[in-house]
Structure 1
């Protein structure tokens, strides 16, 4: 497990359910909640809750209220471990901003020619690099729906974990999704639209992305 991965568990998340993330506290205040409870002490340390507020990463924008900010999508060949393609997200304020960027640069209709292309039958995986700011995020989930010609072909519902805001010494987290085999043949090749969502335990959607890949020969 890499340093950037969440090291929380479903059991530890259960232990923390009575503490509401929405309550406005500093990280130091969170760190001192039930300071005598050994299980909570261990859980909070695993999330990095011993850091000071002064160690937090700066916000992208003044008064930025977002909790989850996606930095990159990377697609890897699962067999050769080589990078197929990468989307580096610019600084954005909301889902609308980043989806406009994706449409203008990575959609079939874009003039940039940067649409992600994957060779048929390739085993590939998606790595998502993101940061957390402002609040603890508990029970973060990644949901993904893949469609072709308006027909849903595959769905992903991954429990990612619980995360504290990133610090200067730990600037991001990452997750790698399960390996997918690219379809093949005349019917398998073509453009696929993908909807990605980041949702937490409170059913709050932090980000919704609409992007696409092209399966080619």
Structure 2
């Protein structure tokens, strides 16, 4: 992938942080089996007998379906990038979306947990303008199991402000987005671009 440094897209760990021992969904299900309240919580995550998280399913644990930008100033409410279609994903690198300058917006992702339990998963994106890094967003997703009905989850991140002014409106901003866990497993990695404009 083009002009983004790999180090920028790695999870940030604070001093003293240690990764816990990796456990399978089955091992988690058997932990503290005598604790009734913990058993109920694990069942809510699909960790009980016959639970969806224990199902042996091949393929990726997580499928990222879309990335969205939402803003109160956006007439349609949100812009959505479909990540389920590879041809569409390729087009996002060449066809910038317009973002209004000087507004508040939020980035969000919609994803599906296919099997197992995910934790320590985060969304990271790095924005470059004229080859210079101008922004980095790193947000934790939380812990999830497959939803009982197979429906996806949506996570919206903190509000950000888009730059403004004549210089900010010059050229195209290139973004590389990644969903990665603490162990370095990458669930999606793609590029997209945008331009700042006076109006949406």
Match of 2:7 in 1: none
Match of 1:34 in 2: 32
Report if aligned partners of 1:56, 1:167 keep a CA contact under 8 Å in 2.
no
2:65 matched to 1:71? yes
Match of 1:162 in 2: 143
Report if aligned partners of 2:176, 2:190 keep a CA contact under 8 Å in 1.
yes
What is the CA–CA distance in structure 1 between the aligned matches of 2:135 and 2:79, rounded to whole Å?
21
Match of 1:14 in 2: none
* 1:216 to partner: Cα distance: 1.1
Match of 1:172 in 2: 152
Q: Which runs of 5+ in 1 are unaligned?
A: 1-16, 92-97
SS at structure 2 position matched to 1:206: strand
Q: Larger deviation: 45-54 or 191-200?
A: 45-54
Match of 2:16 in 1: none
CA RMSD of aligned residues (A): 3.2
Report if aligned partners of 2:64, 2:187 keep a CA contact under 8 Å in 1.
no
* 1:144 to partner: Cα distance: 1.4
Inter-CA distance 56–101: structure 2 relative to 1 (3 Å threshold): farther
What is the CA–CA distance in structure 2 between the aligned matches of 1:125 and 1:45, rounded to whole Å?
32
Q: Which string of whole-angstrom CA distances, capped at 9 and with x for unpartnered residues, describes residues 135-156 of structure 1?
A: 2212111111111111101111
Inter-CA distance 56–199: structure 2 relative to 1 (3 Å threshold): same
Match of 1:88 in 2: 82
What is the CA–CA distance in structure 1 between the aligned matches of 2:41 and 2:33, rounded to whole Å?
11
TM-score by length of 1: 0.68
Inter-CA distance 171–67: structure 2 relative to 1 (3 Å threshold): same
Match of 2:189 in 1: 208
Q: Which runs of 5+ in 2 are unaligned?
A: 1-19
